[in-house]
Structure 1
Amino acid sequence: MAKKVAVLVGSLRKESITRKYAQAIAKMLPPSLEAELVELDMPLYNQDLDDANTPAEAWTAFRNKLKAADAVLFLTPEYNRTISGALKNAIDVGSRPWGQSVWDGKPAAVVSQSPGAQGGFGANHNTRQAVVFLNVPVMPAPELYIGGSPNYLGEDGDINNEQTKELIGKFVAAFEKWVEANAKK
């Protein structure tokens, strides 16, 4: 039976480069991994709403999707050398209420992209730092930073560069092994 992978796209734009990479990578996953893009467009986390036992419907839907997932694939753009507010909010929403984190023990990997040469290095490591604290075993290697990211996507959204496809293929193969070794049975 295929493991369910929640694919989180750290950009809210419908036509974002990050979303296009998420869709392209999801297509490259082997049959043992079933991808679902999980939307992050939800209200900002506010503990008062959890304490009042009236969380926003979007939070509940998000948490339920993550609870059903066996693993997580984070795709993030770099905003001012860090992650987007939408991705940070999703991490916070999933970690609360206290003692009910949806992240606990779920194996994950991080992909970052940027038009710049560093490929979202800061965002990649900020994502890792935030989720490791939540007991998420993040795949240590290979890391995947896609610098000059707009250059490797065709108009159809598929990756049009063989070297980039090969790099992503190696990442996906390692992620499959990571999930198999670390997902809860």
Structure 2
Amino acid sequence: MLSHLSQGAWLLHHPETADAPFFRSLPSGALYPMVALATVVASQALISAVFALTRQAIQLGYCPPLRIVHTSPGHRGQIYLPGVNGGLMLACVAVVLGFRSSGALAAAYGVAVAGTMAITTVLFAAVVTYYVGWVNVRAQRGGGMPRGLKRLYGVMQRNAYHTPDYFRLPSGQVMELGARVEL
């Protein structure tokens, strides 16, 4: 958040650097180290996301079983997929050789992001199942809760909006799970 706020402050004083405010705000000697750092951060984010998504695809049966190496005995999410890592390397080399310039890559990336978002939105709306929980609160005689508080809970439950209706969820894609609570 501080990075974005500082870039905004920089742009207020230097609007001509709107094409790359982060890199244009750096002192001349820090440009290459920051490009290297940004590359490492971006590549680690990509690798982590691809490994996590591939593992989930394997668990759901959408991907053939691949070798998964757990790199930490205490954290199940710390994984390494050697075959996927090699595929990422080949894909990166192909992208660099294919586009030959960062400008061409940036233009292709903008189109790809917009297309991916549109496709994902359509697919998500068609296949998702919404799981909704509800609680049926029932007052019983006696018990430890004061009678007035039991009445308040009853009024709140009767006036509560039905969750699928509130969020305008499609009725054919909602799974309701409920519980009865005796007060």
Q: TM-score, normalised by structure 2?
A: 0.20
Give 1 or 2: higher helix fraction.
2
Q: TM-score, normalised by structure 1?
A: 0.20
The structure with higher relative contact order (CA 8 Å, sep 6+) is 1
Larger of the two Rg values belongs to structure: 2
Give 1 or 2: higher strand fraction.
1
